[in-house]
Amino acid sequence: MSAVKRTAIYGPEPWRTDRRLVWSHWDLWLCLVAALDHESDLAALADAIAAREPLYAGSAGEAKLSHLDELAARLRDAGLTAAALMAGVDASPALRSKARTKVLRQGLYPRDMTAAMRVTPRERLRERALRGRWDRFPSSPRPWYEALVGGLGERWLHEKATFRLERRIEAARERNERSTARDPAGRLAARRALVTYTFETMERCDDSYGVLSPLARDVLLSYARAPVDAAGVAIEDWSEDLCELLAWERYGVLLDHETEVFANVHGAAADHAERFLLALAGELRAHRLRYEADEALQNVAHLHVAHGRLTRFAPAAAALGSEHWRPIVAMAEAALARGRTDIARKTFAAADQPGKQREYLRQRCIALTGLPPAQST
């Protein structure tokens, strides 16, 4: 008598269908572990996964959390809870062990992954930053981007090859500038396309010689300084596009040039940019994208310094806390340069929160204002 071969279960396969709603084995395993260890609280399970596994692009932990977030949304839409979905499930010891292993200990192969695991919030929001607002431009950056890819390629290059690539990008940039000399909308589109191309180039090339970083800075500043009004794009759309790009800039290309990127973002546009950056930081943090959320908050500070928005320094510092010293010191120094020692002290006081740079900021406060943050209020 031959043994019956059991079909392997990797996770994406349907577990049950109820009222036309299909639930996968990943849904089963996640809800089961939540029920066993966290009183069916999916948020608590998310915290447990985040504590056990590193979260970075392509990591198993980030992929599992992406599916967990999507599962929570589907449950809400269906009017269900994790406990309700598990009602009547016979959780045998073998199933419990498998669920905990899959959720908390085991990595992922491509065959294990659901659609939500393949397209994580990191990938979705990064793509939105790179291309998400192109349809709002009077002249789309897409044809310019496709021309750059067709002419320059998108291969990985080692460090020595970046010298030639940098020259080729500069040549393409000069050609685009000449061809759009009488077309402000086309010039803005060409510059915007080049920003995305250089961002992606830095991610796939070895820039050990530091050839691409100065180029990326010049390209980004060139886009930020473009005559937006003449191009016919809504200032709100353009400022949102710029601000979201800045949150995803990972290589510090604007180091010591952080305020220059906001030269065209002033007045009502600056108010709009501040609101957008704060909302963006909240959205990114909700998806556990802490680095990008912190970048958004730091750019709020750089925006205020760029235009001397002194009354906004302390609130920006309070949002930042003491995790990042550079924007706090930049705001304090900008206030002192205008003779406003009181605002500098308030800025340091607002940032005086638990964090890795707290002691350093206290010392900088004393050095610059003569008082520690505790006395600056």
**DSSP state at residue 139:** S
C-alpha span between 277 and 259 (Å, rounded) = 15
Query: Is 2 a residue whose pLDDT tops 90?
Result: no
Question: 322 pLDDT exceeds 60?
Answer: yes
Q: What is the mean pLDDT of residues 232-242?
A: 96
More confident residue, 197 or 56: 197
Higher pLDDT, 355 or 4: 355
Give percent of the chain above pLDDT 70.
98
**Integer Cα distance of 14 and 342 in angstroms:** 63
Q: What is the pLDDT of residue 127?
A: 97
- Whether 1 shows a pLDDT value over 70: the answer reads no
Higher per-residue pLDDT: 376 or 108:
108
pLDDT band at 3 (very low <50, low <70, confident <90, very high): low
Reported for 294-301, long-range contacts at CB under 8 A and 24+ positions apart, including other chains, are 294/320, 294/323, 294/324, 295/246, 295/247, 295/248, 295/249, 296/243, 296/246, 296/247, 298/258, 298/324, 298/326, 298/327, 299/243, 299/246, 299/247, 299/258, 300/274, 301/327, 301/328, 301/330, 301/331
- The average pLDDT across 18-40 equals 95
Q: Is 65 exposed, middle or buried (0-12, 13-18, 19+ CB in 10 A)?
A: buried
* Contact in structure between 327 and 281 (CB atoms under 8 Å): no
Q: With b meaning 16 or more CB within 10 Å and e meaning fewer, what string describes 287-321? A: bbbeebbbbbbbbbbbbbbbbebbebbbbbbebbb
pLDDT higher than threshold 50 for residue 377: no
> What's the pLDDT band for 265 if we cut at 50, 70, 90?
very high
Mean local confidence (pLDDT), 71-88: 95
* Domain extents in the chain: 14-119, 123-307
5 band by pLDDT with thresholds 50, 70 and 90? low
Integer CA distances (angstroms), 147 to 136, 143, 191, 375, in order = 20, 6, 13, 58
> Given this model, what pLDDT does residue 54 score?
86
Give the model's pLDDT for residue 55.
87
**Tens digits of residue pLDDT in 134-174:** 999 999 999 999 999 999 999 999 999 999 999 999 999 99
Taking the whole predicted model, whether its pTM rises above 0.85 is answered as yes
CA dist 278 and 245 (Å) reads: 14
Mean pLDDT over 24-51 rounds to 96
The predicted pLDDT at position 374 comes to 75
Q: What is the DSSP-derived secondary structure letter of residue 157?
A: B
What are the residues whose beta carbons fall under 8 Å from the beta carbon of 118, sequence distance 6 or more?
A: 63
Per-residue model confidence (pLDDT) at position 7? 82
SS (H, E, C) 313-341: HHHHHHHHCCCCHHHHHHHHHHHHHCCCH
Q: What does pLDDT average to over the chain?
A: 95
Does pLDDT of 330 surpass 80?
Answer: yes
pLDDT band at 53 (very low <50, low <70, confident <90, very high): confident
* CA 130/CA 111 separation, integer angstroms: 29
Question: What is the spatial distance between Cα 31 and Cα 310, in angstroms, rounded to a whole number?
Answer: 49
Across the range 263-290, mean pLDDT stands at 96
Cα-only R_g, the chain: 25
The CA distance from 304 to 89, in Å, is 56
Tokens of 376: 């600056």
Classify 256 as helix, strand or coil.
coil
